[in-house]
Homo-oligomer: A and B are copies of this chain.
Amino acid sequence: MSRPSVLITGGAGFIGRHVAAEMAGQGYDVIVTSQRAAPDASQPWRTLTCDLLAADAPSLLAATGADTLVHLAWETTHGQFWNSPANLDWVAATLRIARAFREGGGRRFVGIGTCIEYDMTGLEPIDEVTGPTRPTILYGIAKDATRAILQSYAAQSGMDFTWARVFHLYGPDEKPTRLVPAVITAMLRGEEAKTSAGTQARNFIHAADAGRAIAAVAMSELTGPVNIGTYAHTTVAEVATLIAAILGRPELLRIGAYPTKAEEPASLVPKLDRLRSLGFKPQFDLASGLADVIRSMKAGIPA
């Protein structure tokens, strides 16, 4: 029997490289697409350099003959992607890619969703089977709409379909304006690190663990939505406090310096029974994950 094969769009990205590494390690024949990255013979996967928004992308992807498609690529520019019109292009491209993949013989499609697809007004951990979706931001609406269409199309066309809803990510090489790198950067510079009161319940998962969780989902037989997170919830204030403790700079912490935005959900955390059913175990807890980011950021600072 030949090796199972997987095509990973955005496979050179923040999460994708971890999905690729995990599946390659599990014996998959891995092909990653990247808009920019050139093939890299040092990696245990092949790279297909292509523009996924181009008209010929669906047929290029289908021609790889991959059995499984993990579709990570999407507009993700921090500060822009929530309401970017590029979300429309990514919905369009994703539907075209999914159809071409299926009609080319593809068996299993793993789409990537987001916790902001959910109704975020509740206070309890959200179950992916019973938790209703009620997105209010274009990015979440576009993702939920894509999921709804592909779930129906998959049922019609006999394709396995699963949808990995990722909660709050952090990790090395994150955009510097996001919470974790912003707090770390300020403290490494000896500057005050300002946050909101940060009492909101959240679930922060290290990108490497998110990648490994998505890989576990991709290699499983699960269908439908699956939450991607860690087994311990936290708050934004706890994240900032932990960073300060690791760096030994608690005096720089200014929790509550920014007002809490009215639209910030009080709680946005997942139930993880489905992920747990796969035996998935995160590699990082919050302390070791933040330490990993700090190590990476220190290494990136010129001496």
Which residues in A have some Cβ–Cβ distance to B below 8 Å?
Answer: 55, 83, 85, 87-89, 91-93, 95-96, 98-99, 102-103, 137-138, 141-142, 144-146, 148-149, 152-153, 156-157
Contacts and interface: CB of A to CB of B under 8 A. Distances in A.
Tell me which of A55, A142, A144 has the highest count of chain B C-beta atoms within 10 A of its own C-beta.
A142
Contact of A85 (B93, B145, B157): B157
Tell me which of A88, A92, A103, A149 has the highest count of chain B C-beta atoms within 10 A of its own C-beta.
A88
A127 to B, nearest CB: 18
A91 B91 contact: yes
A91 B102 CA distance: 17
A99 B142 CA distance: 14
Nearest to A56: B55
A149 B153 contact: no
A149 B88 contact: yes
Q: How many of these chains are in the complex?
A: 2
A103 B85 CA distance: 10
Contact of A156 (B83, B95, B103, B149): B83
Contacts of A152: 137-138, 141-142
11 contacts: A85-B99, A85-B102, A87-B149, A91-B91, A138-B149, A138-B156, A141-B149, A141-B152, A142-B149, A142-B152, A144-B145
A60 to B, nearest CB: 14
B153 A88 contact: yes
B96 A88 contact: yes
Contact of A92 (B96, B137, B141, B157): B96
Nearest to A90: B95
Nearest to A147: B145
A98 B88 contact: yes
A89 B99 CA distance: 9
Nearest to A91: B95
Given A88-B95, A92-B96, 16 more contacts: A55-B55, A85-B99, A85-B102, A85-B153, A85-B156, A87-B153, A88-B96, A88-B99, A88-B149, A89-B99, A91-B92, A92-B93, A138-B149, A144-B145, A145-B145, A145-B148
Nearest to A139: B152
A87 B157 CA distance: 13
A59 to B, nearest CB: 13
Nearest to A55: B55
B141 A148 contact: yes
Nearest to A138: B152
Contacts of A98: 88
B156 A145 contact: no
Contacts of A89: 95-96, 99
